[in-house]
């Protein structure tokens, strides 16, 4: 059975073709994501005097946390997802995404490792950040800064290993720009902005504490 991935000589014994179309997968994922963002935005409005920035951050951390756990988690713990005769939605997501990076369907060890750390550690930590912001916990910015560094490190490993391994894992230019670059870019520029903000907040808090102790 042939497959739609690159390189063409990639061996995938037992591969079962996609049963959902690209449109079905994207509409379901984007629709569910928008629902989560809207729900968190509305709920955050009832959490007291939170700024719009904090409410937006809660939306992001809820979205990214659930993505890490519910989307990336199944990939890590389902090594035979591309061989299942009756695949679930998450299996189909990864068969589709693999058109932009076939290391997923090939179960590349570095990719599985990065995704495993992301799902097990950064996923729950992201959801904890939602609670920390809503409750105004003292560790909120330290937590956000730490998770952002983890996400940025994961992205660096992801892109650098792709380059070192040949940079030829996408089925076409469309999948390169839409999946490999586009889909992952959110976990580069958003964590960068959040890390910068949290760094400034942490430095300001330490500076204020030094003034008090003089």
**Do residues 119 and 69 lie in contact, with contact meaning Cβ atoms separated by under 8 Å?**
yes
- The whole-angstrom separation of Cα 136 and Cα 134 is 6
**Do residues 148 and 60 lie in contact, with contact meaning Cβ atoms separated by under 8 Å?**
no
Question: What mean pLDDT do residues 81-102 have?
Answer: 97
Q: How far apart are the first and last CA of the chain?
A: 73
Residue 190 lies in a domain: yes
Residue 171 lies in a domain: yes
Residue 3 lies in a domain: no
Residue 12 lies in a domain: no
Q: Is the pLDDT of residue 214 over 70?
A: no
Residue 4 lies in a domain: no
Domain extent for 121: 22-213
Residue 118 lies in a domain: yes
Tokens at 196, concatenated = 């910068």
Residue 49 lies in a domain: yes
**Do residues 49 and 58 lie in contact, with contact meaning Cβ atoms separated by under 8 Å?**
no
Residue 41 lies in a domain: yes
Whole-structure pTM value: 0.94
Per-residue pLDDT band for 131 (boundaries 50, 70, 90) equals very high
- How many domains, the chain? 1
What does the pLDDT read at residue 1? Answer: 58
24-31: Cβ within 8 A, 24+ apart: 25/89, 25/92, 25/93, 25/96, 28/89, 29/71, 29/93
């Amino acid at each position: 059975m042939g497959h739609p991935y690159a390189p063409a000589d990639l061996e995938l014994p037992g591969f079962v073709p996609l049963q959902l179309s690209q449109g079905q997968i994207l509409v379901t994922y984007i629709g569910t994501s928008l629902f989560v963002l809207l729900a968190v935005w509305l709920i955050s409005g009832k959490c007291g005097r939170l700024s719009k920035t904090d409410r937006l951050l809660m939306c992001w951390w809820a979205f990214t946390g659930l993505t890490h756990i519910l989307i990336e988690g199944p990939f890590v713990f389902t090594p035979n997802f591309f061989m299942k005769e009756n695949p679930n939605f998450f299996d189909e997501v990864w068969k589709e995404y693999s058109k932009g990076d076939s290391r997923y369907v090939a179960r590349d060890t570095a990719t599985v490792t990065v995704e495993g750390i992301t799902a097990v550690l950064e996923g729950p930590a992201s959801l904890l950040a939602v609670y920390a912001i809503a409750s105004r916990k003292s560790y909120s910015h330290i937590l956000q800064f730490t998770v952002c560094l983890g996400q940025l490190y994961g992205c660096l490993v992801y892109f650098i290993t792709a380059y070192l391994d040949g940079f030829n894992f996408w089925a076409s230019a469309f999948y390169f720009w839409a999946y490999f670059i586009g889909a992952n870019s959110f976990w580069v520029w958003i964590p960068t902005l959040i890390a910068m903000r949290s760094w400034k907040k942490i430095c300001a808090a330490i500076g204020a504490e030094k003034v008090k102790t003089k």
